[in-house]
Amino acid sequence: MARATGPDLSAVPRPPTESERVLANVELRFLDLGFNPLQAAALAEAHADWHEAECLLALGCELETAVDILL
């Protein structure tokens, strides 16, 4: 006789952790500042300070130079 099984929960996505939500938010901040998706992801993963990036850009720093400074 076949055993009844429940739903396959391995296919159900888990909710993001707090650190994953923070990382995603920081990445969005970098995108909003004008960094491309690759730069934004790298900066967020490196725990770069988006406030510092904002200040650098406000002072006229170019995006590429800001990436070099922040990483």
| pLDDT tens digit sequence for 9-44 | 677 788 889 999 999 999 999 999 999 999 999 999
DSSP for residue 9: G
**What confidence tier does 1 reach under pLDDT thresholds 50, 70, 90?**
low
For residue range 41-64, list pLDDT tens digits in order. Answer: 999 999 999 999 999 999 999 999
Percent of the chain that is helix, strand, coil (3-state, to 5): 60, 0, 40
